[in-house]
Chains A and B, each alone.
Chain A
Amino acid sequence: MSETTPTSRTGTERPAADIVFDHVTKRYPGQQTPALDDLSMTVPAGETCCLVGPSGGGKTTAMKLVNRLIDFESGDITIGGQSIRSVDVTTLRRDIGYVIQQVGLFPHMTIAGNIGVIPGLLGWSRDRIKKRTDELLDLVRLDRSFASRYPAQLSGGQQQRVGLARALAVDPPVMLMDEPFGALDPITRTEIQDEFLNLESEISKTVIFVTHDIDEAIKMGDRIAVLRQGGVLAQYGTADELLAHPADEYVADFVGADRGLKRLSLRRMREVVAGGDGASNGASPYADAPSVDADATLRIGLSTLFASGAPAVQVTDGGRLLGTVTLDQLQDAVAGSSS
Chain B
Amino acid sequence: MSSYFAFFGDNAALLAELTLVHILLSVFALAVAVVLAIPLGAWIGHLHRFSFAVVSVGNVLRSLPTLAIIAIGLALYGFGIINITVALVILGFPLVLTNTFTAVEGVDPGTVEAARGMGMTGWQILTRVELPSAIPLISSGIRTSWVYIVATAYLATFAGQQGTLGDIISNIEGYGLSGVLAAATISILLAFAGDALLGLAERALTPTGLRLLAERTPAADAEPAPAAPAAA
> Chain A residues in contact with chain B, CB under 8 A?
35, 53, 55-61, 67, 69, 89-96, 98, 100-110, 117-118, 121, 150-153, 163, 166-167, 176, 179, 182-183, 210, 212
Given A121-B120, A150-B213, A176-B117: 5 more A-B contacts, CB < 8 Å:
A53-B232, A100-B114, A100-B117, A106-B111, A110-B209
Which among B109, B115, B133, B232 is the interface contact of A102 at CB below 8 angstroms?
Answer: B109
Task: Return chain B residues, CB-CB under 8 Å to A153.
Answer: 212
Give the Cβ gap from B202 to chain A, nearest Cβ, in Å. 14
Task: Return chain B residues, CB-CB under 8 Å to A167.
Answer: 118
Name the residue of chain B whose CB is nearest to the CB of A94. Answer: B119
Contact B118 A117 (CB under 8 A): yes
Interface centre among A35, A53, A152, A176 (most CB of B within 10 A): A152
Which among A35, A95, A103 is the interface contact of B114 at CB below 8 angstroms?
Answer: A103
A53 to B207, CA, bound (A): 40
Q: In this assembly, does B3 line the interface, its C-beta being within 8 Å of a C-beta of chain A?
A: no
Determine the main DSSP class of B at the interface with A.
Answer: helix
Task: Return chain A residues, CB-CB under 8 Å to B213.
Answer: 107, 150-152
Contact A102 B108 (CB under 8 A): yes
Query: 30 A-B Cβ contacts within 8 A?
Result: A57-B232, A58-B232, A61-B231, A95-B119, A96-B117, A98-B118, A101-B110, A102-B108, A102-B111, A102-B113, A103-B114, A104-B110, A104-B113, A104-B114, A104-B115, A106-B111, A106-B115, A106-B128, A106-B133, A106-B209, A107-B108, A108-B132, A108-B133, A108-B209, A118-B119, A121-B124, A151-B213, A152-B209, A179-B228, A210-B232
Contact A104 B108 (CB under 8 A): yes
Name the residue of chain B whose CB is nearest to the CB of A36. Answer: B231
Contact A69 B231 (CB under 8 A): no
Task: Return chain A residues, CB-CB under 8 Å to B117.
Answer: 67, 69, 93, 96, 98, 100, 176
Contact A152 B109 (CB under 8 A): no
Contact A69 B116 (CB under 8 A): yes
Task: Return chain A residues, CB-CB under 8 Å to B133.
Answer: 106-108
Q: In this assembly, does B129 line the interface, its C-beta being within 8 Å of a C-beta of chain A?
A: yes
A113 to B132, CA, bound (A): 13
Contact A59 B111 (CB under 8 A): no
Task: Return chain B residues, CB-CB under 8 Å to A100.
Answer: 110, 113-114, 117, 228
Name the residue of chain B whose CB is nearest to the CB of A113. Answer: B209
Which among B112, B114, B212, B232 is the interface contact of A212 at CB below 8 angstroms?
Answer: B232
A210 to B232, CA, bound (A): 9
Give the Cβ gap from B231 to chain A, nearest Cβ, in Å. 5
A92 to B120, CA, bound (A): 11
A98 to B118, CA, bound (A): 6
Task: Return chain B residues, CB-CB under 8 Å to A107.
Answer: 108, 111, 133, 207, 209-210, 213
Task: Return chain A residues, CB-CB under 8 Å to B124.
Answer: 121
A-B pairs with the 5 shortest C-beta distances? A102-B110, A104-B114, A93-B119, A98-B117, A108-B207
Task: Return chain A residues, CB-CB under 8 Å to B230.
Answer: 60
Contact A105 B111 (CB under 8 A): yes
A26 to B186, CA, bound (A): 65
Which among B109, B113, B207 is the interface contact of A109 at CB below 8 angstroms?
Answer: B207
Name the residue of chain A whose CB is nearest to the CB of B209. Answer: A150
Name the residue of chain B whose CB is nearest to the CB of A120. Answer: B128
